[in-house]
Chains A and B, each alone.
Chain A
Amino acid sequence: MTAESSARKVHAKLERLIIRDVAARELERGCRAAVSEGARVQFAYSWFPDRASGSAAELSRSDAPLSEEAELRYIVHTAAGSPPEVWRCRPGTLSPPSLAAIAPLVSWYEREMTDLCGLHFEGQPQPEPLVLLPGAHTARPPLKPGPAGALTYTPEPFSLPQIAGRAHRDVQVLPFGPIRADVLESAQFTFFYLGEAILHYQPHLFFKYRGMEKRFEGVAPELGIVLAERVSAVGSVAHALAYSHALEAAAQCEVPARAEWLRVLLGELERLYNHLHYLGHLCHTTTLKVGEAEGKFLEELAKQANAEATGSRFLRSLICPGGIRREPNLASLARSLARLQGEFAPYAERLERSTTHLDRLMTTGVLDKKLAFDLGATGPIERASGVDRDPRRDQPYSVYQDLPLRVAVREGGDAHARQQVRIAEALNSLELIRSALEGLPAGPIRALCRPAPFSEGLGWAESPRGSVYYAVHLDAAGRLARVKIKSPSFSNWRVFPYTVHDSNMMDYAINEASFGLTIAGCAR
C-alpha cells in the first residue's frame, strides 16, 4: 500500500454530508418510504440553532425567536455502503409526528428529546419520561442553550405494568438495583416472574445520567476530546475517534496518513482488550473458572501493553481532532502483541470446545434478525443476528480499506453466536494491529483542525460494542454549541429486553453478559 493511495482514500471521508430539508407533515411519509426500501433511521436528535446561523431566507420563515425553536435531525442509512443522509426538520410551533410506529428504534430518541429538549411528539406510543427519573423536574429543558437551571427530584416509583388474570397473585415482582452485587455499574431492573420463568422485564438505565451532552456546550473543540474520552471509558478510543471525525468533517481537515494508520492501531487495541474482558466475564456467568481467569488475565496483559505503548491503560489522551497528539511506543507494542497472539488463539479454541460453557450459551437470549434491524441493535449484537453491517467497511474511515478487515457475521442470534462474533473479531483485531504496524507510513501525525463558526459535522466509529456517532454544531465563536452522542449501548439496551421476556432467571446473567453492555454509554 502506497502512501498516495491511502491519502486518496482518506480524502473520501471529507465528502460533504447530504442534508435534506423535510417538512414536519412530510416526515411520516418520507420515513415510511425509506423504511420500505430497507433504510434504517440510525438515530435522531434536536438542537436549538443560533439566530445568526441560518440564512436570511430561512430566518424570515418563522416569527418565533429562533433560539427557542428546535431543529430536528434524523440520520438515515439508505443502503449499506453509502454515507448517511441527514434529514433536517424545523417543526416551528407544531408538534412533530412520532415516527416510532414506522421505525421503532426512533422511539427512545423521541422520548429523550421530550425529556431534554422539551419537544412533544404527536402519537408517541410511550409518552412517559425515559432519561429523567419519575419525580425529576427541570425548570427549563436542559439542552436549550444557556444555563440549564436546577433539577428538582422527589423520588417516585416507576410506572410498572399491571398484572391481571387468575394467576396474578402468583407473579412475583423483583426490583433489583440500582446498587447491584459485585463491582457493577448502577442500574435498576424489575423482573416479573413465576418460579423460574420471567414474564416481563423492565430495565431503568438512567440513574447515571450525568448530562454529558450539555457539558460540551461552550467548550473549545480541541478540549472537548477530554470529555468525549470520558463518556464511556471502555470506549474511549471510539468516542474520541467519532468526535474527531465530526470536527474534521466540520473543518474540512485532512488527517495525515500516519495518524490514520495509528488510529486503526488504537481502535483495534481497544476492541482487543474489551473482547478479552467480555470472554472472561462470560465465563464468569457460566462458572467456567479457568476460562474466566485466563480471559481476565489476557485482558490485563492487553491493558498493560496499552499503558506501555501509549501511557494510558484505556488508550486515552492520544487521539485529537486533526490526528494524533504524540507517537506511541511501537517497539513495546510489537513485543506484547506477539505474546497475546500466542495465547489468545488456543484460549478461544478451548472455549469453543467447552461443552458445559456452550450448553449455557446455545439457544440463550435469541435475538432474531428482523428485531435486531428494526430496533437498531448494533455492533457484534446485530452481526450475531445475521445483520451484515460494520461502519469500518460500509462507511469507511481511517485506512480500513487497505487492511485485512473481516466482518464477522453469524446467523444464530443466541449467546453463542455473540461469543463467536467476538472471538472472530478479536482474532481479526490482532491481525489488523500487526498489518498496521507493518504498513505504517512515515510522516507527520497532526494537522491543524479549526472548524469555522456555525459549521457542523457528523462523525462515526465502530467501537467494540457497535457504532458510535457524534454530531457537532459550532457557535459564532467557533466553540461547541451542541454535541449529540449516539452510543452503542443506548442502541443495544433498547433491544436487549426483548430477549429476556419469556426466558428464565438462571439464564439472565449469561444473557446480559453475552450482550456486553455498558450503563455509562447508555445514560451519558
Chain B
Amino acid sequence: MPFWTFYGLKQGKASTSWPADGNDGQAGLLGMPRFDPAKCQDGCRACADACLPGAITLAQDRTAGEARLDVDYGRCVVCQMCVEACPAGAFTASSDWAFGVRRREDLLWGRAMDSAEGQALRGQIRRIFGRSLHVRHVDAGSCNGCESELQALNNPFYNLHRLGVFFTPSPRFADLLLVTGPITYAMRGPLEEAYRAMPEPRFVMALGACAVSGGTNGGGHACGNGLEGLLPVDVYVPGCPPNPAAIIHALLMLLTRMPQRVRGGQITAEAERA
C-alpha cells in the first residue's frame, strides 16, 4: 500500500534529539516531592501517616534524642499524598523526576552526600560495551506501568535504537538484566535463571519503586521487596513508574554517557545547572 509510504514520509521525523538537546517530552510531569526539613513542625507526623508505601518514616535520632523524618525516595510512588498532608509546606510538589542512581543509599535523603563512585568500574563498562547495550527485560510482578513506559522507548519519539540500546529476546545475548516488579514468589525462579544464563560481565537494573524497594505492592504473602539481597544491582531507578526519559538517562548513566544526577535524595547542583 504505497499510501503508507507517502504518509510516513509526509509525517517526517518524529524523534527527539534529547539528551543531546531538544525536548525530553516530560513537560508538566510531577516528580518526587522536595523535602525541606527546616519547615517541619515539632511532633508532626502527618506526612508519614499519609505515606502508604512507607517512604516517609519517623525515626528516633539518637544523638539529638528527638524524632526525625527519614525519607527514602526508593519507596516513593509519587502519589503526592505527603504534599497534601503537610501543614507547613515541608514537602512541595516538584518536577524532579525519579533519576537513576548507582547506590541505593543515594535515594535516602541527606545520608550519602559523601558517596564516591567506582571509577574502575566505569572504565570497565566503557571498555567492554563501548557505546552499545543489549537489554533483557524481566517482569517480576509489575502493575504494567513500567512495561508501558519501556514499550514507549521504542516509539518514534524516544526511538531508543538511535542511542545504541536494544532489547534482546534471549538473556544469553544480554548485557543488562532490567527488572520490574516486587519479585513475586512465582517469578523469582525464572528471574534467577535468566540472570544465570547471562554471560559475564553482566549488569542489573532495578526499575521502578517495586523493584527498588517493594514499593506499595511488595511484601505480603506472595511478593518479595524488590531486588535487594536477591541480585547485585548496578543501577536503581525509582519512580512509579519512571518516565521514558528517566529510563534513558539511567541506561546512559550505566554506560557512563550521562552523569548521575541525584545524590543524597537531592538533585545535585551540577545537574540543576545543566
Contact = CB atoms under 8 A, between A and B. Distances in A.
Contacts of A136: 185-186
A151 B221 contact: yes
Interface string B128-147: 00000000011111111111
B264 interface: no
A307 B30 CA distance: 8
A186 B187 contact: yes
B167 A183 contact: yes
Contacts of A120: none
B241 interface: yes
B11, B30, B220: which has the most chain A beta carbons within 10 Å? B220
Given A233-B145, A313-B243, A519-B144, A150 B221 contact: yes
Contacts of B146: 233
Interface string B180-206: 011011110111001000000000000
Interface string B41-70: 000000000101100000000000000000
A290 B156 CA distance: 10
A232 B29 contact: no
Contacts of B187: 178, 186, 207-208
B5 interface: yes
A182 B217 contact: no
Contacts of A230: 77, 143, 145, 215-217, 240
Contacts of A308: 27-28
Given A138-B221, A209-B222, A350 B157 contact: no
Nearest to A177: B190
Interface in A273-330: 277, 280, 288-291, 293-294, 296-297, 299-301, 303-304, 307-314, 316-317, 325, 329
A223 B184 contact: no
B155 A208 contact: no
A210 B220 contact: yes
B29 A312 contact: yes
Contacts of A133: 186
A428 B272 CA distance: 43
Contact of A155 (B145, B189, B241): B189
A179 interface: yes
B79 interface: yes
A399 interface: no
Contacts of A294: 7-8, 11
B223 A299 contact: no
B125 interface: no
B45 to A, nearest CB: 14
16 contacts: A148-B220, A178-B190, A186-B187, A208-B142, A209-B184, A210-B217, A211-B222, A214-B220, A214-B221, A226-B77, A230-B145, A309-B28, A311-B29, A350-B7, A354-B1, A520-B144
Given A150-B221, A290-B8, A307-B243, 18 more contacts: A138-B221, A155-B189, A185-B142, A206-B186, A207-B190, A289-B4, A294-B11, A296-B156, A297-B14, A297-B156, A301-B157, A311-B30, A316-B78, A317-B80, A325-B84, A354-B1, A355-B1, A519-B144
Interface of B: 1, 3-5, 7-8, 11, 14, 25-30, 50, 52-53, 77-81, 84, 93, 137-152, 154-158, 167, 169, 181-182, 184-187, 189-191, 194, 215-217, 220-223, 240-241, 243
